Structure 1
């Protein structure tokens, strides 16, 4: 049976456009397990081999098509072998969280093989206190953060499997790739339907213009946060109690995302002052999902951006900033955008970046822009702890990416009552990332009513 034609979306292609710098556009997560007996990679491979078929995209690779046949398509990989994707490695000496984070950064920044489905799962053994970890890496063309959580729901133990298809027969795998004739015919039908439905894009174009504020985006002062990035990344963590963050957010009329934005801008403002720079406002590129939840059988990227120019200090002296005032101001700024169409900006951003790529200008644009100083993304994870191989996953650490001339990004994930914020920084352009982490923890402590211990 020939496989149905599954094309890369315009948003998927945008991530391929990004993937032209020294660091691949890949994302990941670190699953930290409870202490116990060592986990065995063979057992993990066996479990994943049973569960991966419930997520068809994990056994597919993206293939280019002949000229005139439309966008690239996802096809079954006839050479798929779980041992190529599930591997193991020992935690580097001397062990501990720092060694684990350095290893995770190295894995996420190592390009995945282009001739296989773009994902990997690396079991890390030899961690302190007998707490093994699993580092999962996905190329961003496969899915966004919301989709990645849907994938995880199908791979872990127990009730989360209810979110996956009840049965996924393997008898038809691998299905033959579509013929050139069928690709061309389907592409022609798609172009015709697109022309007929073009008028439906007008409302999204309006919302995209508002979301991006392309006509009146505030300029911010140039600073050392914008410099071309290299191939290496360093990770640092900050944590806080999720209920406390929600309490602080409600008191300011905002959301947990507002607490995060207030904390990261305050921390960056403090870092810049350490560097001898005074910047009172910074613009964050806030990734917004175009859907409330992902589905394992419908993986793709549905994200847009909100550009928010936020204060780094309160209404008082910069040396004694008022975090509550900044939180209220941040909530006011983001509240005005909350009613917009989710992910509408992708309607403008996707074709713009593809044209820049076609003209050979994408890399120049990404390394010379001065609008955005940081990337920020927030994901809502499971409210209860998950388990894999019968072992409780005590913590989920998100790992996002940064590129162009944006030297720092923040990825936040709520999980089992905690909010974990990962700082992803260019190792060479931001050597003081541990100072940034210290400032971020201090900002979160000031903002929440009961800091996590």
Structure 2
């Protein structure tokens, strides 16, 4: 049997990844992505370690740390960690028995707020035992600069098996030695080249977005008109309409809670179709309905609209495993619409309109400039934008076949996105027949988590009734 070749990824962080990495000088802008798997039994520890050791050899990026150049000039790079230690990244803990899903989620939320050791590869695994019925929890925390939601699912597919019994796996080819980098090696000519490349990257993005060709050189008036159309399109995709943040959700802190809901996949699809929308439209409309109910339950006025952020997947088949391939959309979402079907149609119209813009990735376009800013200034700029979102929503395609962790079956799997300044981040991850929705909330904004959870559950029931 021939060995499996390690999967290679670009050495340099792209500008968007560098932004997420550097903005964490403000602890409120941390970017952990967390997966919580509920397992039917406690997995075999030795087998768990072996599968993760193999994965780090198959995906060498998991053995890489982020190395910054001196003075932050130029983009950081991935470089092998000379002291990589698997037992640091894969650990275990035990709940006070008998633990349940709520105690597991609370444990995961506390663990998620612990910052990464930035001198090591930015990912950690925690096996949590002590759950009732002999169950266990598998927690994976990855820095967003290493992978987005879709990339994280790709990595999980390498860590997880498809049968309870051990499956035959080909040996991984020996990882060729890669020269370790130091800060010194990222200075001098490389730094000068990186600084010079920043405006070039921006220009390339601009001309690509404009569809630049010889036609623009021959017709400067047309080029100017196209440039104006481009700027207007980018602004519509990146900036919400005038929708002030909700006064009820205005406070921010470093404290987080994880909440979850399980929704039938086909039922949510039917609900979306019944109102002329999609599963995603029904999902977003249900979350908005829950936020509106929460305002009423707390005795607050329901705003007409609130600012919402939503990533749009831009990944193509040729992209390397992991990494970040998404465009950030922002819009003013309807909140005071009581009719669930109408709310789905309104969401549908907004999202379709944004996707049809000539340029949707305005953030990616200006990222080379923002990433070149001093980290403190970058944090102020980025934080000022993300704190303007009351709610963020994400939809991640999950694994559609049974999955196992070292012999333990994954009964449920939830994704929890980062909350860099917002009040609520909801992420939907589907499997063969269920949509598992996980929400990261800032408890300074959502001061009554139990009430909020009930409001969202009631809103999902209202939306599902349409189908």
Q: For residues 262-281 of structure 1, what are the structure 2 equivalents within 5 Å?
A: 262-278=285-301, 279-281=303-305
TM-score normalised to structure 2 length? 0.83
Q: Which has the higher helix share?
A: 2
Which residue is equivalent to 1:33? 39
TM-score normalised to structure 1 length? 0.85
340 and 383 in structure 1: CA distance in 2 versus 1, 3 angstrom threshold: farther
How far 1:444 sits from its partner (Å)?
1.1
Which residue is equivalent to 2:4? none
Aligned equivalent of 1:311, options 325, 329, 334: 334
348 and 272 in structure 1: CA distance in 2 versus 1, 3 angstrom threshold: farther
CA distance in 2 between partners of 1:258 and 1:70 (Å): 40
Say whether the 8 Å CA contact 1:61–1:117 is kept in structure 2. Answer: yes
Unaligned runs of 5+ in 1: 160-164, 315-320
Say whether the 8 Å CA contact 1:233–1:424 is kept in structure 2. Answer: yes
Secondary structure at the residue paired with 1:234? strand
Q: For residues 297-446 of structure 1, what are the structure 2 equivalents within 5 Å?
A: 297-314=320-337, 321-340=338-357, 344-351=361-368, 353-354=370-371, 360=377, 362-363=379-380, 366=383, 371-404=388-421, 406-446=422-462
CA distance in 2 between partners of 1:169 and 1:81 (Å): 20
Tell me if 1:79 matches 2:83: yes
How far 1:359 sits from its partner (Å)?
6.5
How far 1:14 sits from its partner (Å)?
1.8
Q: Deviations over 1:158-193 (max 9, x none)?
A: 49xxxxx97742352454338457745874895697
106 and 241 in structure 1: CA distance in 2 versus 1, 3 angstrom threshold: same
Which residue is equivalent to 1:219? 242
Tell me if 1:291 matches 2:315: yes
Which residue is equivalent to 2:111? 107
Secondary structure at the residue paired with 1:19? helix
Q: Deviations over 1:236-265 (max 9, x none)?
A: 111210111111112222222111110111
CA distance in 1 between partners of 2:179 and 2:157 (Å): 25
21-30 or 54-63, which deviates more: 21-30
CA distance in 2 between partners of 1:216 and 1:50 (Å): 43
Say whether the 8 Å CA contact 1:353–1:362 is kept in structure 2. Answer: no
For the aligned residue pairs, the C-alpha RMSD in angstroms reads: 3.3
* Length, aligned pairs only: 434
Secondary structure at the residue paired with 1:88? strand
How far 1:370 sits from its partner (Å)?
7.2
How far 1:213 sits from its partner (Å)?
1.4
Secondary structure at the residue paired with 1:272? helix
How far 1:18 sits from its partner (Å)?
3.5
Secondary structure at the residue paired with 1:254? coil
CA distance in 1 between partners of 2:316 and 2:463 (Å): 27
CA distance in 1 between partners of 2:244 and 2:195 (Å): 47
Which residue is equivalent to 1:317? none
Q: For residues 69-148 of structure 1, what are the structure 2 equivalents within 5 Å?
A: 70-148=74-152
CA distance in 1 between partners of 2:209 and 2:191 (Å): 28
Say whether the 8 Å CA contact 1:385–1:393 is kept in structure 2. Answer: yes
423-432 or 220-229, which deviates more: 220-229
Unaligned runs of 5+ in 2: 1-7, 164-168, 212-226
